[in-house]
Amino acid sequence: MGVKMPSYGGQAVIEGVMMRGSHAVAIAMRAPDHSIIIHKEKLGALYRSWFTKVPFLRGLILLWDAIGLGMRALTISANLQTGEEEKLEGPMLYLTYGFSLIIGVGFFFLIPAAIGQFGEHLFEWSAWVSNLIEGLIRLVLLVGYIWVIGLLPDISRVFAYHGAEHKTINAFEAGEEMIPEKVAKHSREHPRCGTAFLLDVVIISILLFSFLGPLPLLWRLLTRILLIPLIAGIAYEYLKWTANNIQNPLVRLIIKPNLALQRLTTREPSLEILEVGIAAFNAMKKEEEQVLPL
């Protein structure tokens, strides 16, 4: 029986890549002077607690990872680029986080729900049709939003770092030598990607909300917020199952939409960008080995 491969993850940040293990996280960033700056820190016990072993509940860890650790990594990278005089921190930082979260929930969950409710009353759609239309609107908003922001040069560059993150992890999992020229040959798609998680959340929300039947507008909006943790838990388990069974031909078929959407959130990275992704991975792996030798 082979040794189980560690499930490393990460995300792109501004001019850099964050890599996360089970004990440590490292962020490698290309500074304005073109040097690579490494930020490392130990992860809290939450990532290794009993909570992460409970099916469906552990999906909340992924949400926290994306919202908490991910936003902090973005802030660290942004502050490196702007310098000390324009550093984002303190109350303004938390207000920015909170406002972004409210806008995201409102745009992707509440607005589609309100449109579905409007159509249910105006066009006399059945509750099932109304919920289906709501879900399709949510899907279009997600894909459209990703496509539009990807047209911005700055975001397109972040997407190139996202591609570097995927290629680096794919290269490690393939046993490849971690140098830019060899890492570049690997795919910029990965089955555990956060983009795939978002698509799974949308698809599962369509199925789940369809069973709720007709609801008054207030209850409809409340359920869209209150059921987000449940949807995240289901989406995490589905993503984990597909990643663990990626060699199955049927699984490879059903995750094609997940991989296709990643073509929008990644770009082919240059060798210089790959160098940053590899630096982040090596720094994280070194920190991990100091705690738990691999």
Each residue's pLDDT tens digit in the chain (294 positions)? 344 556 788 999 999 999 998 889 999 999 999 999 999 998 877 777 777 788 888 877 767 766 788 888 988 998 898 876 666 666 666 677 778 888 988 999 999 999 999 988 888 888 889 999 999 999 999 999 999 999 999 999 999 999 999 999 999 999 999 999 999 999 999 998 989 999 999 999 998 998 888 899 999 999 999 999 899 899 999 999 999 999 999 999 999 999 999 999 999 999 999 999 999 999 999 998 887 654
First-to-final CA distance of the chain: 17
- Interhelix angle 194-210/217-226, rounded to 10 degrees, is 140
State the DSSP H helix or E strand holding residue 115, giving kind and residue range, or none if neither.
helix 111-122
Cα gap 13→25, rounded to integer Å: 13
Is residue 127 within 8 A of residue 214, CB to CB? The reply is yes
Backbone dihedral region for residue 217 (phi beyond 0: left; psi -120 to 50: alpha; all else: beta): alpha
Q: How far is CA 65 from CA 44, 58, 120, in A?
A: 11, 11, 36
- Interhelix angle 127-149/194-210, rounded to 10 degrees, is 160
Cα gap 3→213, rounded to integer Å: 47
Domain ranges for the chain, please list them: 9-291
Tens digit of each residue's pLDDT (9 = 90 or more) over 127-146: 889 999 999 999 999 999 99
Tell me the two tokens of residue 46.
């939450």
Tell me the two tokens of residue 242.
């597909």
For the entire predicted model, the pTM comes to: 0.90
Cα gap 202→136, rounded to integer Å: 9
Dihedral sign (CA 267, 40, 91, 106): positive
